[in-house]
Each structure stands twice: as structure tokens, then as C-alpha cells.
């Protein structure tokens, strides 16, 4: 009787919270199942994915599964890595060992036909719908374990007047920023559709790449600003990144960048506030944004690098159209203008080629690169970032 009364009181409290607009995370279970999940084996090393040098052992504890496989490599639009079956041991742990070159990899499990992230992994892909896990095989510019000076990545909350709401962005400051009085150039970098402000920091490894290039004296110290590319998430998700949704997003993101983000960064960080010390870049949806805002505001950004960002058919932008009418000004003011996409399966390849040809026909002097062996993938965008950042602000 006492347990029944306690349960009634608990459900009453949950109902009161719901009335006042508060909810308990995950809902409140007034009736609980007696079924329990299988206990995890111990120690943890026996059932989690591990990286030992170049050797990666994928593990998943699933004693009741009849088949488990893993897909690892580059995952993205138009890219699905091969499915490799895993082997089950006597404890119910499935495993597979592979030797991988230094890089960051995405992976996910197929459990009896159900796609699952690695719930025991410390790194998950930052995205609006998390569907893959991440692992880092050491030995490249992506590492964060070198005994070198490291910068800081700060999460900033600001009010966006353009969107009439609070927004968030990440700002990387180079080593020694807080202890110095120096002013720095700024690289604005926009993530892709479906990603988050953490995508370029965690999966793109932008801060680690800059730290390592700085230690090698290959880049100038700079701020790296990583805003949220998506300004109307429900619209983009419902439309599946259709051209009308991307067009509207580009317009609102551009207004936010010029009215809110750039002024905020210049007011709250020690920047060199002129076009020669501002660069804009991005990948995929962010690559489109770099073209819109870069060409649409010549003199605000004198460095433009668009990665896999050729606008799709049906895309419209008054801001970009105005910029495309000013080839002579662009050729005078832009210190660098790069348009690039992977030539081996990048879904934005043909759109990017078409846009670059349009630029040429209008008289723009840009640099176009379409390397083979790359598709619409972070491995391409990280490589491009490491190659072009040393050229900035020289």
C-alpha cells in the first residue's frame, strides 16, 4: 500500500511539473519494466574500442545480437564505407582489429540491421543527428598530444539581432593570446549542413591543425571563429537542404555575420579590424556561405576559400549576385580567392566546377583546385585547411 501511495505521489509531481512547463528528462515512468539490460563485463578495456598506435580494435558488447558489423572510414553524403563483419567471443563482445594510417575516422556499428554509434566511445561526431562515432589514429597534424604551446577554444554566447535570439559560436585564440597585447587577424569558418559549431573544432581539428602549424612556424597566429551556419534548422531539415531552404539560410546567415558576429568579435577580442586581416571559409553549406558573404561584402573579407561550396541549381542570393557584378573590385581587393572540391565523388564537384566557370566568364581571377582521390568528406576539408591556412594574412 505504501509503495502504491508513493507511486501516486510521484506521478502527481510529474503532472504538476508538466503543467508549469517543466518536464523530467526522458519523461517520468510511473510503471517500470522488470527487464534489465545485460551487465557490462569488466574491465572496460575488454569491451570498448581502443587505439594502440596504428592498430584499432573495434569492440561492441552485444551478447544477445546475432550479427554485428562495423563500417569505418569517411562517412558522408554519397559515402558509405564497406561493412566488415565482427567476431563474437565467449563474453558476448564483438570485435574486429584493423591497422589504419594516421588520421581521424568515422565509424558506426550494424547490429542485427540497426545502425548504432559506439556508445562507449569518448568522441562522437558533432552533428544535429548523431549517427557516427570518431576515433583518432595518432601521427599527423590532427594530434593534440605534442608538447607544444596550445591555444584555447572558447564557447561564446551572443545575442543575434538579425535572428532575434541568443546564438553560440566557438572562438579559437592562439597560444599566448591572453598574456599578450597583440592584435590578430581572423579566419571565419562555417561548418556544413547538419553539423554544429563543434564540428570544425572536434572533427575538423581546426585548433589542433593551427597549433601544430604554429609550432612549425608555418602559419601566422590568428583567431579562428566557428559560427553556426544554420539559422533556421526546422526549415533546412524539412526541406532536405533543398535550394529554396539553402537560399533563405544563406540570406539570414549573411545578415547575422555582418550585423552581429563580426562586430561582436571585433569588440570582444583583440582583432585587426580590416579586410586584409579577415578571411572567410567553409565547407559544403558553409562553402556556399563563404562565397555569399565573401563576394557580397568585398573589402570586409579579402581572403575567400570555399570548400565543396558550389551553389546548387535553383539557389538564389541577392547578396551574391551583387558581388558577382564586381569582378574588377574583387580582383583589386581579394588577396586570395580559392574555389575547390574533390574530383572523386564529391557531390558538390559539378556545381563547384560550374560556378568556377561562371567566375571566369565574369572576369574573376580565382584559383580552382579539383584534386582526385577526395570526395565530400572531412579528410578532404582537413587537408585543404592545412594547405591554405599557411597562405593567409601574408
Instruction: Please report, in tens digits, the pLDDT of each residue of the chain (394 residues total).
Output: 444 455 445 555 544 444 444 444 444 445 555 777 777 778 888 889 999 999 999 999 999 999 999 999 987 777 778 899 999 999 999 999 999 999 999 999 999 999 999 998 999 999 988 889 999 999 999 999 889 999 999 999 999 999 999 999 999 999 999 999 999 999 999 999 989 999 999 999 999 999 999 999 999 999 999 999 999 766 665 655 578 889 999 999 999 999 999 999 999 999 999 999 999 999 999 999 999 999 999 999 999 999 999 999 999 999 999 999 999 999 999 999 999 999 998 999 999 999 999 999 999 999 999 999 999 999 999 999 999 999 999 9
Containing structural domain, residue 98: 46-137
Q: What is the CATH number of the domain that holds 324?
A: 3.40.50.1820
Is 8 within the bounds of a domain? no
Phi, psi at 42, each rounded to 5°: -135, 145
Q: Which is it for strands 93-99 and 50-52: parallel, antiparallel or unpaired?
A: unpaired
Whether the Cβ atoms of residue 76 and residue 375 lie closer than 8 Å to each other: yes
Same domain as 159, residue 66? no
Which of 137, 167, 191 is the C-terminal boundary of a domain?
Answer: 137
Give domain status of residue 238, yes or no.
Answer: yes
Cα 123 to the center of its chain, rounded Å: 13
Residue 3 lies in a domain: no
pTM: 0.89
**What single string gives the DSSP state of each residue in 241-301?**
S-HHHHHHHHHHHHHHIIIIIHHHHHHHS-B--SGGGEEEEEETHHHHHHHHHHHHTBTTB
- Which of 109, 137, 165 marks a domain boundary? 137
13 falls within a domain? no
* The total number of structural domains that make up the chain: 2
Amino acid at each position: 500500500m505504501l509503495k502504491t501511495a508513493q507511486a501516486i505521489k510521484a506521478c502527481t509531481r510529474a503532472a504538476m511539473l508538466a503543467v508549469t512547463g517543466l518536464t523530467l528528462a526522458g519523461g517520468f515512468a510511473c510503471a517500470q519494466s522488470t527487464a534489465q539490460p545485460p551487465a557490462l563485463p569488466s574491465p572496460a578495456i575488454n569491451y570498448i574500442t581502443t587505439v594502440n598506435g596504428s592498430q584499432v580494435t573495434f569492440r561492441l558488447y552485444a551478447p544477445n545480437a546475432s550479427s554485428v558489423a562495423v563500417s569505418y572510414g569517411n562517412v558522408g553524403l554519397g559515402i558509405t564505407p564497406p561493412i566488415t563483419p565482427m567476431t563474437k567471443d565467449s563474453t558476448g563482445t564483438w570485435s574486429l582489429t584493423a591497422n589504419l594510417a594516421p588520421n581521424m575516422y568515422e565509424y558506426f556499428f550494424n547490429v542485427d540491421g540497426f545502425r548504432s554509434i559506439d556508445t562507449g566511445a569518448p568522441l562522437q561526431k558533432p552533428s544535429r543527428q548523431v549517427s557516427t562515432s570518431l576515433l583518432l589514429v595518432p601521427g599527423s597534424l590532427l594530434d593534440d598530444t605534442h608538447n607544444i604551446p596550445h591555444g584555447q577554444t572558447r564557447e561564446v554566447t551572443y545575442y543575434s539581432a538579425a535572428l532575434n535570439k541568443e546564438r553560440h559560436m566557438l572562438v579559437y585564440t592562439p597560444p599566448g593570446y591572453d598574456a599578450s597585447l597583440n592584435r590578430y587577424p581572423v579566419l571565419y569558418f562555417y561548418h556544413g549542413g547538419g553539423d554544429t559549431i563543434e564540428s570544425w573544432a572536434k572533427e575538423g581539428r581546426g585548433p589542433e591543425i593551427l597549433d601544430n602549424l604554429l609550432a612549425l612556424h608555418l602559419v601566422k597566429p590568428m583567431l579562428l571563429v566557428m559560427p553556426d551556419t544554420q539559422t533556421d534548422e526546422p526549415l533546412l531539415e524539412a526541406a532536405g537542404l533543398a535550394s529554396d531552404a539553402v537560399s533563405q539560410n544563406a540570406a539570414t546567415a549573411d545578415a547575422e555575420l555582418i550585423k552581429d558576429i563580426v562586430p561582436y568579435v571585433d569588440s570582444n577580442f583583440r582583432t585587426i579590424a580590416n579586410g586584409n586581416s579577415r578571411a572567410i571559409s567553409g565547407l559544403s553549406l558553409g562553402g556556399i556561405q563563404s562565397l555569399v558573404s565573401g563576394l557580397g561584402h568585398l573589402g570586409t573579407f579579402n581572403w575567400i576559400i570555399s570548400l565543396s561550396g558550389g551553389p546548387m541549381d535553383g539557389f538564389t542570393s541577392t547578396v551574391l549576385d551583387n558581388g558577382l557584378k564586381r569582378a574588377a573590385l574583387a580582383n583589386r581587393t581579394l588577396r586570395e580567392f580559392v574555389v575547390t572540391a574533390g574530383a572523386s565523388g564529391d557531390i558538390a564537384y559539378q556545381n563547384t566546377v560550374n560556378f568556377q566557370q561562371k567566375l571566369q566568364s565574369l572576369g574573376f581571377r580565382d584559383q580552382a583546385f579539383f584534386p582526385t582521390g577526395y570526395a565530400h568528406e572531412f579528410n578532404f576539408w582537413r587537408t585543404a585547411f592545412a594547405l591554405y591556412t599557411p597562405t593567409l594574412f601574408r
